[in-house]
Chains A and B, each alone.
Chain A
Amino acid sequence: MLAFTIRRAFQSLIVLLVVGLVAFSMFNFVGDPVDNMLGQERTGADIERLRTQLGLDQPFPVQYYRFLEGAVQGNFGISYRQGRPVSDVISERIAATLELAMVSAILAIVFGVALGVFTAIRRNGWAANIIMSLSLIGVSLPTFLIGILLIYLFAVELGWLPSFGRGETVDLGWWRTGLLTESGRKAIILPAITLGLYQMTLIMRLVRSEMLEVLRQDYIRFARARGLKDRSVYFRHALKNTLVPVITVTGMQLGSIIAFAIITETVFQWPGVGLLFINAIRFVDIPVMAAYLMLISVMFVSINLVVDLLYFAIDPRLRADRSGSGK
């Protein structure tokens, strides 16, 4: 298991380097930061001077090397837009995104699994059919539109929930949370639904099909033949076996949640790293973009690693193999 972890970590490192390279090469094409940084009254000489200052006159591999060099030391440079260290800017924002992602993920997982189990058990019932059809509407509309419709309905027409922002936040020192205040909790509802709806649908459909598959297995028949209660058959026996593939996909969906947060954060003016990234693109804030993409990659890679380790926790058969040849 240790060898496995090390190998995965090494692979992850290569992934990170490649992602970094691709991401960095993209920045050459999103525009020129200099124009944004200088005002309407800039001269040609100003532009040249600033370009040299930022190292933008260097060839792209040199720029990338310099970025990596800094990144290794935890220095992602200074945001062109905010004039502050990128690490500060990101650490200030990351809590908002993670909080949103977590609430949406929990929504998606709880409702996704529950509805998936329900629709699998009541396979041909009318309620299950309605849920299945409705769930398709969730994946048949773009996220941004769902967000705007929710705002229109719940913020403008009904006035129940706020349309933007995080509400009041409480600073816990290292974490600025909105979950401790009522306005913060209210503010997270719409964005979390918007962000989680798609993932919820995916998880639900996956759980359903896996569950149907598992329910056909001998050990489920045997469990029934032993006279176990339905609840025990479904949740103790079937669900647990459903979870292995579900965890894989859910792990990947968590990555998507963070990526799709870009859209949700834009619609709801949620002050997280996704919004930061969109602003960075708009202002060609290269250090912020690079750091964001690296951060996201690190997150994806760690999620993957955690998912792999979760297998070990859930499936005893894998645990038994740990001393053997492994994968």
Chain B
Amino acid sequence: MRGFSFTNTISRAWKSDFMWSFRRTPVAIVSFFVAMILILGAVFAPLFAPYNPFDPATLNLMNGFSQPMVPNQFTGDSFWLGADDQGRDVFSTILYGLRISLFVGFAAVAFAMVLGVTLGLVAGYVGGWIGALIMRIADVQLTFPGILVAMLVFGIAKGFTPIEQRDEMAIWVLVIAIGLSEWVQFARVVRGATMVEKNKEYVQAAHLNGRRPISIMVRHILPNVLGPVLVIATISLALAIIAEATLSFLGVGAPPTQPSLGTLIRIGQGFMFSGEWWILLFPAVTLLTLALSVNLLGDWLRDVLNPKLR
């Protein structure tokens, strides 16, 4: 019985407009599968990666700059996508680097989403001077470019973290810094939608029934803003991944012993003229593919859900 209703749900979902549009849009399908392959590759990196680039004891410096598919002249080791300057397998490093990039991306978006949705709900539902204050802060935040916010957060966090924890800190600081520069989008959309929904009869009715504001917001208003929030989240994810790479270029990103895709590109760009193209090319293509597929998915979502985004 349960199983039946479950498959029923699935089949209903499959037949919904959403899925119909998905099946009709090759770009969406391809993007989705590419993104999934990359995400799964990152999640199960230890299973797929032939080496663990984060374990320094397994590295042999003499493998450095091995060409793709060509056995190293000293060690005889061979790497699919070559080895980087430290003798790390580029393929494994990309998988592990994807992990960090995706983690930072997802965590930053989650942080921005929680912060933005909460503040947006409060600003829209409660309104008054609290709402005004929140939106003023949002304005200020919008005027200040994310990259500078990130640098500021990074600088400050460095001062407050004990020296032993700085490596772990770097990742979390990236998350917070990028999250802080993205929350405003969420807050604005949610606030707008909340102000519309708030005055609808069913919300008023729930209010009269003595439901607590929090429960009204969560049960009635939140579901109505999920569409736009999903779209923003997707686009923010791509932005966050790129932001992480840019911050790594400025030297405030992931540590080189545990490189993210951005760090790999930063390292790789030093070898552009010297002929070791694989150190730059493969991570860059991976980043491009990831960001592009996420962006294309976001585009498609925007078309389907058609929220009026500003």
Contacts and interface: CB of A to CB of B under 8 A. Distances in A.
Direct contact of A and B (CB under 8 A): yes
A260 interface: yes
A26 B272 contact: no
A29 B156 CA distance: 6
Contact of B310 (A132, A136, A245, A303): A245
Interface in B100-148: 136, 139-140, 142-148
Interface string A293-304: 100110011011
A156 B284 contact: no
A156 B8 CA distance: 61
Interface in B217-251: 238-239, 242, 245-246, 249-250
B144 A19 contact: yes
Interface stretch (B13-21, B66-74, B287-295): B287-295
Interface stretch (A140-148, A164-172, A233-241): A140-148
Contacts of B145: 255-256, 258-260
B305 interface: no
A269 interface: no
A141 B147 contact: no
A144 B246 contact: yes
A4 to B, nearest CB: 14
Contacts of A260: 145, 147
Given A245-B310, A301-B143, A143 B148 contact: no
Contact of B309 (A27, A29, A209, A259): A209
B273 interface: yes
Contacts of B291: 139-141
Interface residues of A, number: 47
Contacts of B143: 15, 252, 255, 300-301, 303-304
A195 interface: no
B301 to A, nearest CB: 13
A152 interface: yes
A29 B158 contact: yes
B78 to A, nearest CB: 28
Nearest to A201: B295
B269 interface: yes
A28 interface: yes
Contact of B245 (A133, A142, A148, A301): A142
Contacts of B94: none
Contacts of B239: 139
Interface string A279-301: 00000000000000100110011
Contacts of B262: 142
A220 interface: no
A136 B295 contact: yes
A259 B148 contact: yes
B159 A145 contact: no
B308 interface: yes
B246 A143 contact: yes
B249 A142 contact: yes
11 contacts: A11-B136, A22-B152, A139-B291, A142-B249, A143-B246, A145-B245, A209-B302, A255-B145, A256-B147, A262-B147, A296-B148
Interface of B: 136, 139-140, 142-148, 151-152, 155-156, 158-159, 238-239, 242, 245-246, 249-250, 262, 265-266, 269, 272-273, 284, 287-288, 290-292, 295-296, 299, 302, 308-310
Given A11-B136, A139-B238, 20 more contacts: A15-B143, A26-B152, A26-B155, A26-B156, A29-B156, A139-B291, A140-B292, A144-B249, A144-B266, A152-B272, A213-B308, A248-B310, A252-B142, A255-B144, A255-B145, A256-B147, A260-B145, A263-B249, A300-B143, A304-B139
